[in-house]
Amino acid sequence: MSVTRGINRLLRNVKKSVNISERQVLALAYQPNVNDFEPNGPRVVTDIPGPRSKQLIEQLDQIQNVGAVHFFCDYDNSHGNYLADVDGNVMLDLFTQISSVPLGYNHPALINAVSKPENLSTFVNRPALGVYPPADWVSRLQNTLVSVAPPGMNHVQTMACGTCSVEHGMKAVFMKFMSDARGGMPPSQEALESCIINKAPGSPSLSFLSFNNSFHGRTMGALACSHSKWLHKLDFPVPDWPIVRFPNLKYPLEENVVENRTEESKILEEVEDKIDEYNKKGQTVAGIIVEPVQCEGGDKFATPYFFQGLRDITNKRGMGFIIDEVQTGCGATGKFWAHEHFNLTDSPDIVSFSKKMLTGGFYKKVTFKPKEGHRIFNTWVGDPSKIALLEEVVKVIREDNLLDSVKVTGEYLMSGLFNMQSKYPGILSNTRGLGTLCAIDFNTTDNRDKAMADLRKKGVHTGACGPTSLRFRTTLLFKTKHVDVFMERFDDVLSQLNK
C-alpha cells in the first residue's frame, strides 16, 4: 500500500513537472525517444539573464555568493538538448551543466526510472554505502559501472563528485606506493603513530606529477595538481609538487605528425627530468595524473604516443598512473572512455570519472585495492539513486547506439567548424576534437566572449575554456539537426564580428 501511494505521488510529481497527462507519462515510459518532445528550436523572449533571473540572483545574493551564477533555470520545462530559463527563454544547450548531462533534460527513461516501484527505496534512502550497502548494490554496480569499465579494469569505487574521485584515486596510488616500498610488509608502530601528527615515516614526503593548465579538482591533493586558474588556488597552502608543461601541439594533429612527435618526445624527457629532480630533493614522485584532453585549460589534445610514453615511464619507475576522465568519460568522444582512443599497451592504474556518469568514482587495477576497510572512505561513498539513473543511461547508450551517433554528429560538427574557420580565418583557428568533444579558438579573448554573449542572445548556450577557446560539451543525443541550428547562428554572430 505504502509503495503504491509513493508511486502515485511520484507519478503526480512527474506529471506536474513535465506538464503532461498521466497517460502521456506512461506512454513516455515505453517510448524513450527524447527527440519526440524536444522543442524545434531556441526561443528568446527577454535578455538573458532576464528580469526573473535577476530578481532571484538578488535574493540568492542575500545568502550566498552569486558571482558564478549565469541565470536561473526552469528544469520542468527543459527537454532534450534545450534548456529553459525562468524567464521563458529556451536555449540550445552546448554546455550541458559543465558537461554533465548525458541524455538531455527530462529524458523519459530517467523519468521512468524514478517511477519504478523497485527504485522507490533507492531514491528515498541514502545509505552509508561503505558500511551498509543495500542488497541490490552488487548487481547494480555490475549492470552499470562494471559493465562499462575501461579495458583491463574491473574494480570500481563510487564517490560523490569529480574532485573527491581524483583525491581518493591519488590516495590509492600513495598507499600502493608505500606498500611496495615496505615490500608488502605491515607498517611499523612508529609509522602508525607518526602519521597522526603529520610526520614521517607514517606521513611520508611524497608528491604527484601533473601538467601545467590541468584541472583535477579543488580539495588539497587534487588542487595541488590543478594549474588552470588563480581563482581555484589563491590563498591555499598547497604543496610544491612537480609540474611539467602539457604538449603544445599543432592542429590538425594528423597534418603535423613530425613536429608534434618532436614536441611530445621533448615533454616526455622533461617528465623524467622532473621526477629525478623531485626524487633527489626528497619529495619522491609516487604518480602522474593527466587528463586525456586537457579540458578546463583550453581543450588541448595530445597523441596516443604521449600517453603511452607516460604509461611506460610510470611502469618503469613503479609509479601510479591516473587518467582523469571526469570531463571526457561516458561517450562524448565516440568511445565510452576517451583514453580508449590511445590503444595503451597496459591500462592506467586509476581512471576517475563523474559528470555524465551521474556518480563520481574511480576504476582501479586490483593491485590498487586497499588492504583495510575505511582507507578509501567517507560517509556516503556515492549515492545509489545515481546508480539507478546510470543504469538507464547505460541502457539507452547501448540500445540507441549513442556512441555511433556521437561519432556521426562529431564529424558533422567538426566539418561545420572547419567551414567556419575557412570562412573567418582572421577570427577562428585550431578546430579540433574527438566525437562531439570539440573546440575552436578565437583570435582574442574579447572576440570569444563577445561571440558567446551574442550566441546566447540567439538562444544558444555555450561554454568557454582556456583563454580563447570555445568548447562543445553537448548531450549524447545531440544530432546533426542540432548542429545546423547552432551553425546558422554561429555564422550570423561571426559575420557581425567580422565587420
Ligand X SMILES: Cc1ncc(COP(=O)(O)O)c(C=O)c1O
Residues that bind ligand X (CB under 6 A): 161-163, 166, 215-217, 291, 295-296, 324, 326-327, 354
**Residue closer to ligand X, measured from CB, 284 or 327:** 327
Is beta strand 360-364 parallel, antiparallel or unpaired with respect to 155-159? antiparallel
Is beta strand 284-290 parallel, antiparallel or unpaired with respect to 206-211? parallel
In the three-class reduction of DSSP (H, G, I as helix; E, B as strand; rest coil), residue 380 is classed as: coil
Per-residue exposure over 63-74, b if at least 16 CB sit within 10 Å of its own CB, e if not: eeeeeeeebbbb
Report the alpha-carbon angle 20-23-24, nearest 5.
45
Alpha carbon 73 to its chain's center: 21
Distance CA 164, CA 475 (A): 24
Q: How far is the CB of 227 from ligand X (least distance, A)?
A: 12
**Residue closer to ligand X, measured from CB, 38 or 325:** 325
Q: How far is the CB of 177 from ligand X (least distance, A)?
A: 21
Q: How far is the CB of 159 from ligand X (least distance, A)?
A: 10
Q: How far is the CB of 163 from ligand X (least distance, A)?
A: 3
Q: Which of 128, 131, 42, 138 is nearest to 92 (CA)?
A: 42
**Residue closer to ligand X, measured from CB, 77 or 359:** 359
> CB of 252 within 8 A of CB of 307?
no
Is the bond leading into 102 cis (omega within 30 degrees of zero)?
A: no
> In whole angstroms, how far apart are CA 403 and each of 22, 25, 363, 478?
32, 27, 21, 11
Distance CA 319, CA 176 (A): 9
**Residue closer to ligand X, measured from CB, 306 or 424:** 306
Supply the residues annotated as catalytic: 215, 324, 355, 379
Distance CA 199, CA 67 (A): 39
Report the alpha-carbon angle 336-437-170, nearest 5.
60
Please identify the residue of the shown chain whose CB is closest to the bound ligand X. 162
**Residue closer to ligand X, measured from CB, 112 or 354:** 354
**Residue closer to ligand X, measured from CB, 95 or 251:** 95
